[in-house]
Structure 1
Amino acid sequence: MTALGRLLAPYALTAVIGALIWHWTPFIGPSASHARQEARYDVAMTGANEWKRHALGWMASYRVSESRRGEERQTSQAAATSLVQQCAARVAEARQSARVIERIVTKEPTYDPTRCPVRELVDPRSVREALQPAG
């Protein structure tokens, strides 16, 4: 058996070394396939991380734009409310002036004993009150 072992030992050693080379060398065999898969995985992960970074940037940009849009909406609503209040104040002032002017104009005239209307001076305070801004 020793003669047979000596005869087959170099072939067995060569087979074992060949199998190790075949299995572990990154250029041939399963190791090459494994190396290619690792390279593809690295490329895919790099791309995925880049897309994730871009997506997070887009999300942050969207959040900022939405917060600015909300602020603009609040500002415009406040401005519209202010304009409505100013308009309402002007309308109230105009109505008050119109009432006073109407009272001056539609005042029942005073008649003299012959039933002729007598001219009267308008009270300056009522005219001033009609033309003065409300407040």
Structure 2
Amino acid sequence: MIGAVLSSSAGIARALGRALKPLLPWIAAALMGAIIWHFLPVIGPADRLARATQVTADWKAQADEQARQARNWRASYTASETLRKQETTDAIDAVASEIERCAARVTEARQSARIIERIVTKEPTYDQNRCPVRELVDPDQLRQALQPGR
């Protein structure tokens, strides 16, 4: 059975070979044309494939460069935000310190104003002619009025 199949296929190959023999120059020319067309500059598939590969490589290089720039920008942004937060904290602390200093100075000024008011509104003593007697202000009291709390 196998021998019959092989002999019939050999017969078909011989018949096909005799039928294609006059077309061999045309087949060879078509094959040469296909090869020439494939490697033809500018419009051939090999050239288009090479250009597409180059464009892809260029895009990949650009994407890598942009990714690197994005990472650098992100790092500088993070550092900038860290510094900004620290500066904001420092500014808030400075303002709070200044508020405390101002409140202390206001308290000191109020104490001084109370002592000065006591000195100024003190009822004078009078002599027998009903004239006020001149008196010196106690230096300790005056010192305390000018520098309260010390």
TM-score with structure 1 setting the length: 0.74
Q: Which amino acid aligns with 1:131?
A: L
Alpha-carbon displacement from aligned partner over 1:5-60 (angstroms, at most 9, x marks no partner): 5665686577568757865x696732322221111011011011101211221122
1:123 shift after superposition: 3.5
Map of 2:93 onto structure 1:
78
**CA–CA separation in structure 2 for the residues paired with 1:96 and 1:48:** 71
Map of 2:48 onto structure 1:
33
Alpha-carbon displacement from aligned partner over 1:69-101 (angstroms, at most 9, x marks no partner): 221122122212212221221122122112101
* Higher radius of gyration, 1 or 2: 2
Secondary structure of the 2:64 match is helix
Number of aligned residue pairs: give it.
Answer: 134
Q: Which amino acid aligns with 1:74?
A: T
From 59, 81, 86, the equivalent of 1:66 is: 81
Could you tell me which runs of 5 or more consecutive residues in structure 2 were left unpaired when the two chains were aligned: 1-14
Alpha-carbon displacement from aligned partner over 1:99-134 (angstroms, at most 9, x marks no partner): 101211210112234423233443444223212343
**CA–CA separation in structure 1 for the residues paired with 2:148 and 2:54:** 82
Map of 1:53 onto structure 2:
68
CA RMSD of aligned residues (A): 2.9
**CA–CA separation in structure 1 for the residues paired with 2:101 and 2:40:** 82
Secondary structure of the 2:149 match is coil
| Change in 2 beyond 3 A, CA 1:133/1:109 | closer
Could you tell me which runs of 5 or more consecutive residues in structure 1 were left unpaired when the two chains were aligned: none
Identity %: 49
1:1-135 equivalence runs, <5 A: 1=15, 2-4=17-19, 12=27, 19=34, 29-134=44-149
